[in-house]
Amino acid sequence: IGCSDWGRVDFLMDEEGNHYFLEVNTSPGMTDHSLVPMAAKAAGISFDELVVKILSMTLSDNNKAHINVG
């Protein structure tokens, strides 16, 4: 679907261990009760570190997007 850098992909797993794709969210929530920050916290990544990682990926030389501010 052409996504890059970051987002959230949702799956379900049944009792037998089968995985089912649900959706791709290209703009997931970033509040303290949103899934991406909670998953990052569980992985030992602070909210501030997460934001810096997302911004770094977005602004990297490998990214084709151009962002103009101001």
Our count of domains for the chain comes to: 1
Task: Domain of residue 50: give its range.
Answer: 8-59
Task: Give the model confidence (pLDDT) of 26-67 as tens digits.
Answer: 889 999 889 999 999 999 999 999 999 988 888 886 655 555
Let me know if residue 12 belongs to a domain: yes
> What's the pLDDT score for residue 59?
84
Contact between residue 9 and residue 26 where contact means Cβ atoms under 8 Å apart: no
Q: SS3 of 55, please?
A: helix
In a domain, 69, yes or no: no
**pLDDT at residue 70 greater than cutoff 80:** no
Identify whether 68 is part of a domain: no
CATH of residue 53: 3.30.470.20
Decide if 23 is inside a domain: yes
63 and 5 Cβ atoms separated by less than 8 Å: yes
* Residue 31 lies inside a defined structural domain of this protein: yes
The model's pTM: 0.65
Q: Is the pLDDT of residue 68 over 80?
A: no
Flag whether 24 is in a domain.
Answer: yes
**Identity of the amino acid at 30:** M
Model pLDDT, residue 51: 93
Q: Which residues pair with 11 in a beta bridge?
A: 21
Asked if residue 70 belongs to a domain, the reply is no
Residue 22 CA to chain centroid, in angstroms? 15
